[in-house]
A and B are shown apart, each in its own frame.
Chain A
Amino acid sequence: MKYCEGRTMCFRKPSVLDFAAVAGKTENEGPFGGIFDEVIEDNKGGAETWEQAEALFQRRAVGHVLRKSGLEPDRIDLVVAGDLLNQCVGSSYGLKDYYMPFLGIYGACSTFAEGLLLGAALVNAGYMDAVIASTSSHYSTAERQFRFPLNYGGVRTPTSQWTATAAGAALIGSSGKPPFIRAATIGKIEDMGITDLNNMGAAMAGAAYDTLTRHMKHRGTHPENYDLIITGDLGQVGSDLLYDLFRRDGVDIKSRHKDCGMLLYDRTMQDVHAGGSGCGCSAAMMCGHFFGRIRDGELKKVLYCATGALMSPTMVQQGGSIPGIAHCVELSSEQGG
């Protein structure tokens, strides 16, 4: 039986069974403080280095999911994880001690959606019963790797975003209970020609537009059919550009749209400029907040479109631009037919 429409995969079986989010001090001081399963106040949690700290965040997020599900690590068929760090060490070092079969993925900040859809596909096809999708990001490791040392007095531009120190993990299986993963569309790499390292939102908006458009076209839906269309971390600039792109097609997406990067922090009180970013940003918001609301039926139909900027400092220094990618997952409180 074919569960596809166009290149959008449609699922019957998978649900998100359990989910957990771990965050740092700044995230907990934002408007959604208190939603996280664990807050590591000093962003380090006893780790020696920032990279080890990020690994710790992800390890704890998966740990909470295991605890909530009552499953031992050896009952998990697969963990599919990735992060922003070189060689994805947040994931590999964070999860190695669980001894679960591991697939490392890289989607930049779209990683969590990528993990969810891969898990959903494997569960739907019957190959696996329990798949964990997890990801993390950390302000300090992102700055060290992509930008400047932490004590450096460089100025952040108004369009720049604040990498969230957070991790999220979700267990996918088939339980017959919400939130159900109904469909997913895999994104294509969209290069809009943006070369400004400090304006990732602009680099990603084109990809979000393309994936969302294709998803809704294949599903035969419009923005009004969804309670919310949630993007990962387009930020202020990226969101405005997304609205512009949809407006050119005569479609209003603004009324249904929320962006995790803009929600996670209070932009008037916290100095985060254009909003939050990082794999952990949307993962923490989904696992800490949105999955719960869908499970409880408060939100019936939601699109989660995580956006990633496939940015490489090397390529940018060589004069290249920053391509974007976005993966879309459709979640529902009702099981599909």
Chain B
Amino acid sequence: MNISNEEYGELTKRRSHNSKLYKTVPMAFLTGGLICTLGQLLTNLYMMTGISRDTASSLTSISLIFLSILFTGLEWYDRIAQHAGAGTLVPITGFANAVASPALEFKSEGYVLGLGAKMFVIAGPVIVYGVSASVVYGIIYYIVGLFMK
């Protein structure tokens, strides 16, 4: 080879066209904003029926999850997500899609070893690190609380 890996890396960067930020960022903003607005609408609707804020919030999450999973099954979610980028990934819709899609995909390898085992192959880290962070926080919070007394 007539070139070092470092030089080749530089060349690659030049030749690799990157995402057009002026397209992707506004799309993410728009779709993410719309999804959150829909969430707000749902929360308000639920609260109008007399449900408490916390429960309405949970119901909103469940509703958005339901819609994401439905869209995933209908193969619409992926088409939207291609254009929306982080707009569908960051809201809870991304999490729901990440759970439903491997379950759907690996069904062919069986209900237990395929669907069941692989359901969290993409979303797993979110649970692992989110819950772990909360445990650490809980311990710190408790210890701080002891000192405050």
Contacts and interface: CB of A to CB of B under 8 A. Distances in A.
The short answer to whether A and B are in direct contact, CB under 8 Å, is: yes
A153 B82 contact: yes
Contacts of A245: 2-3
B101 A151 contact: yes
B65 interface: no
Interface in B111-135: 122
B78 A152 contact: yes
The main secondary structure of chain B at its interface with chain A is helix
A151 B72 contact: yes
Contacts, number: 100
A194 B101 contact: no
B82 A149 contact: no
The main secondary structure of chain A at its interface with chain B is loop
Contacts of B106: 149
A157 B85 CA distance: 10
Indicate the size class of the contact surface on chain B: 35 or more
A206 B101 contact: no
B102 A152 contact: yes
A153 B73 CA distance: 12
Interface in B50-82: 72-73, 75, 77-78, 80-82
A42 interface: no
Interface string A49-92: 11000000000000000000000000000000000000000000
A155 B82 contact: yes
Contacts of B85: 155
Contact of A156 (B9, B72, B82): B82
Interface residues of A, number: 35
Pick from B6, B8, B89 the residue with the most CB of A within 10 Å.
Answer: B8
A155 B81 contact: yes
Contacts of A49: 108
A2 interface: no
Interface stretch (A223-231, A236-244, A282-290): A236-244
Given A151-B97, A153-B94, A192 B15 contact: no
B124 to A, nearest CB: 14
A206 B72 CA distance: 39
Contact of A237 (B16, B98, B102): B16
Given A159-B17, A206-B1, A241-B15, A153 B122 contact: no
17 contacts: A149-B101, A149-B104, A151-B77, A151-B100, A153-B80, A153-B94, A159-B17, A192-B8, A192-B12, A194-B9, A194-B12, A202-B15, A202-B16, A237-B15, A241-B15, A244-B11, A248-B2
Interface of A: 48-50, 144, 148-159, 190-194, 199, 202, 206, 209-210, 236-237, 240-241, 244-245, 248-249, 271
Given A148-B101, A152-B78, A244-B15, 19 more contacts: A149-B122, A150-B78, A151-B77, A151-B97, A151-B100, A152-B98, A152-B101, A153-B89, A154-B89, A155-B81, A155-B89, A156-B82, A159-B17, A190-B1, A194-B12, A199-B12, A236-B17, A241-B11, A241-B12
